[in-house]
């Protein structure tokens, strides 16, 4: 794994960090009533998507290299949906949106996709 591009290590770290931040947003969305469950669920979706994208930057990824950018774009769409529904703090969601955009850029890199396709364990 020493020949792994540094972008992939950075993408893995960003995905995990975004997932942890989204979990914090999920905890803050809970106010003790059942009315907040939609916001908790939306933040849980965002957290799961960030962890999934972070997991794509390893040799154990379940998707092809060309699909990483698409999965990161779906993650960004979930963050935008969370912003539109005001499911968490706006500052936290803006940080997650920036992280999601960075993950899209890293996932769209041709050398990242080529490395994942050549090294992934199916």
Site of tokens 């092809």: 64
To the question of pTM greater than 0.85 for the whole model, the response is yes
Q: Is 82 exposed, middle or buried (0-12, 13-18, 19+ CB in 10 A)?
A: buried
pLDDT of 59 reads 81
Residue 102 near residue 14, CB atoms below 8 Å:
yes
pLDDT of 3 reads 79
- Digitized pLDDT (tens) for each residue of the chain, 122 residues in all: 457 889 999 999 999 999 999 999 999 999 989 988 999 999 999 999 999 999 999 888 889 988 999 999 999 999 999 999 988 899 999 999 999 999 999 999 999 999 988 887 76
Q: For residue 68, how many C-alpha atoms fall within 13 Å in the half-sphere facing its CB?
A: 37
pLDDT of 2 reads 56
């Amino acid at each position: 794994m020493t020949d792994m591009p540094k972008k992939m290590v950075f993408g893995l770290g960003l995905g995990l960090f975004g997932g942890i931040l989204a979990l914090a947003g999920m905890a803050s969305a809970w106010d003790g009533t059942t009315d907040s469950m939609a916001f908790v669920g939306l933040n849980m979706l965002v957290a799961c998507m960030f962890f999934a994208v972070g997991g794509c930057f390893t040799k154990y990824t379940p998707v092809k290299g060309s699909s990483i950018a698409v999965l990161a774009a779906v993650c960004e769409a979930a963050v935008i949906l969370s912003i539109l529904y005001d499911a968490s703090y706006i500052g936290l969601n803006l940080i997650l949106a920036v992280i999601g955009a960075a993950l899209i850029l890293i996932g769209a890199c041709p050398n990242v996709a080529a490395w994942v396709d050549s090294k992934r364990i199916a």
